[in-house]
Amino acid sequence: MTSKYLVKGGRVIDPANNADEILDILIEGNIVAAIGRDLAGKEVTAGAEIIDASGKLVTPGLVDMHVHLRDPGRTDEETIESGLRAAARGGFTSIACMSNTDPVIDSAPVVEYIKRQAADVGFGNIFPIGSITSGLEGERLSEMGELVNVGAVAFSDDGKCVMNSQLMRRALEYTKIWDKAVISHAEDGFLARGGQMHEGYYSTTLGLKGIPAAAEEVIVARDIILAGLTGGRLHIAHLSTAGSLDLVKRAKEQGIRVTCEVTPHHLTLTDENLQGYNTNFKVNPPLRTAEDVAALRQGLRDGVIDAIASDHAPHARHEKEVEFDFAPFGLIGLETTLALILTEIVDRDVIGLSEAIGKMSVGPAEILGIAKGRLGIGDDADIVIIDSNVQHEVDPSKFESKSINTPYTGWRLKGLVTDVFSAGKPVIKGKVFVDGSVEGSRVLDPWKENHGYS
């Protein structure tokens, strides 16, 4: 017998279909079978288990197009399973994982490994992003055709910039064959070399070497020019400066095929936050100025920004707890992104709820060319139920992620994911994972506990 669930009486927000109203959704097998007002009691819903969503938001399973899983390579920091669990807890049923694993996602077996592991875990979908250059070495293109054949959805050397303009040109040309996006980590390695934080007033007062806004902007400009030259599809990852945004805005006006994403941290934090030398604020691109944050918020309003993505970048605690200059760049975001956006962006009227959900569902899904992030009849039943009134305090010890490098510890945020369906299967039900683990019950790595890392 196929399983049937009736998600009843929730405020359904489905930006792809312009829906924002109280509706019932019938899940049958893996798909959305019906959607409408008061489906309860109708013949189609006979035998369905009722999930009461009244007073809550019901959205498509969210899509995070920029996630670093450390599997293969650094499974002490994140595994495919812990990453998928963290994603589900944060409302994401589809994540695209970046290629800077060890080995790099530059060959078919690595893509196949990730997909197989994800299927075994079963908590959601992983869409691997292949590397642009073999081994992220920036010397020659990866086997892109082979990677597409086994399921790579886009290409990126994220974490590193492709400094060779000729290679970037070739990547943009070659990917046109499959209409895949080339995702640019826009950072001039020479301008940024040795930099620890944004170059400006605070880098001077803190005595840390700066990374100028220009390091990002010269590459954004170069890649836009190359996208114009080739007709290839360019996506700018973690765009962080007012100047970059302006370049993307003007390129879009000229009809160049460019999209961009911003992270929650570049929308909510500034370089001023570095004052305590807390390495959990050390991220690449660096936290910028208050003016940049204001410009990015305006970019959301204007629609220049297409997606919000976490850039979830787990790092081991012992590697972050070192002098600032020696700590790796990156912070985790899967379990805080939705609540941060609801609290700091939607509640502060930067953009509306539907727009915000769109930037975390259909927006990124369209860039990746995946049939996700929408709730029409016949679509995959990836569905999230959110209690948007519940306030909670960010406590990394309760994270599903294996890492705890968040700058948001102690922040009080609104919005808690209570239920998650992936392809019609319940993953989280009433805040409890279907495998029985409840919120905050994560068992820490015994080594970490023994060494005081709780």
Which residues contribute to the site for Zn ion (CB under 5 A)? Answer: 158, 311
Grouping H, G, I as helix, E, B as strand and the rest as coil, residue 27 is strand
Closest to Zn ion by CB, 159 vs 415, is 159
Closest to ligand DOR by CB, 284 vs 422, is 284
Q: Smallest gap, in angstroms, from Cβ of residue 340 to ligand DOR?
A: 17
The angle subtended at Cα 219 by Cα 224 and Cα 154, nearest 5°, is 65
Closest to Zn ion by CB, 183 vs 356, is 183
Of 224, 225, 201, 205, the residue nearest 213 (C-alpha): 201
Q: Smallest gap, in angstroms, from Cβ of residue 49 to ligand DOR?
A: 40
Place of tokens 């700018």: 236
Q: β-strands 62-67, 92-97: how paired?
A: parallel
Closest to ligand DOR by CB, 100 vs 125, is 100
With contact defined as beta carbons under 8 Å apart, do 293 and 300 qualify?
no
Q: Smallest gap, in angstroms, from Cβ of residue 57 to ligand DOR?
A: 30
Helices and strands (H and E) in the chain: how many: 15, 19
C-alpha distances in Å from residue 343, one per residue of 86, 246, 350: 19, 26, 10
Of 134, 228, 133, 142, the residue nearest 185 (C-alpha): 133
Whether 188 sits among the annotated catalytic residues: the reply is no
* Per annotation, catalytic residue among 14, 106, 157, 311: 311
Binding residues (CB under 6 A) for ligand DOR: these are 68, 100, 158-159, 185, 283-284, 313, 328-330
- Indicate which of ligand DOR, Zn ion, none lies near residue 284 (CB less than 5 to 8 Å, by partner kind): ligand DOR
Closest to Zn ion by CB, 67 vs 247, is 67
Angstrom distance (rounded) from CA 397 to CA 301 = 34
For 133-141, which contacts have Cβ atoms below 8 Å and span 24 or more sequence positions? Answer: 133/106, 133/157, 133/162, 133/167, 134/104, 134/106, 135/104, 135/106, 136/99, 136/100, 136/104, 136/106, 136/160, 138/162, 138/163, 138/164, 138/167, 139/164, 139/167, 140/167, 141/167, 141/170, 141/171, 141/174
The angle subtended at Cα 300 by Cα 332 and Cα 185, nearest 5°, is 50
Q: Smallest gap, in angstroms, from Cβ of residue 160 to ligand DOR?
A: 8
Q: Smallest gap, in angstroms, from Cβ of residue 205 to Zn ion?
A: 28
Q: β-strands 154-156, 210-211: how paired?
A: unpaired
- Indicate which of Zn ion, ligand DOR, none lies near residue 113 (CB less than 5 to 8 Å, by partner kind): none
- Indicate which of Zn ion, ligand DOR, none lies near residue 114 (CB less than 5 to 8 Å, by partner kind): none
Of 298, 303, 291, the residue nearest 349 (C-alpha): 298
Closest to ligand DOR by CB, 23 vs 87, is 87
Q: Smallest gap, in angstroms, from Cβ of residue 124 to Zn ion?
A: 19
Closest to ligand DOR by CB, 234 vs 346, is 234
With contact defined as beta carbons under 8 Å apart, do 279 and 321 qualify?
yes
Q: Smallest gap, in angstroms, from Cβ of residue 386 to Zn ion?
A: 25
Tell me the residue nearest to ligand DOR as measured from the CB. Answer: 330
- Indicate which of Zn ion, ligand DOR, none lies near residue 346 (CB less than 5 to 8 Å, by partner kind): none
Catalytic center residues: 311
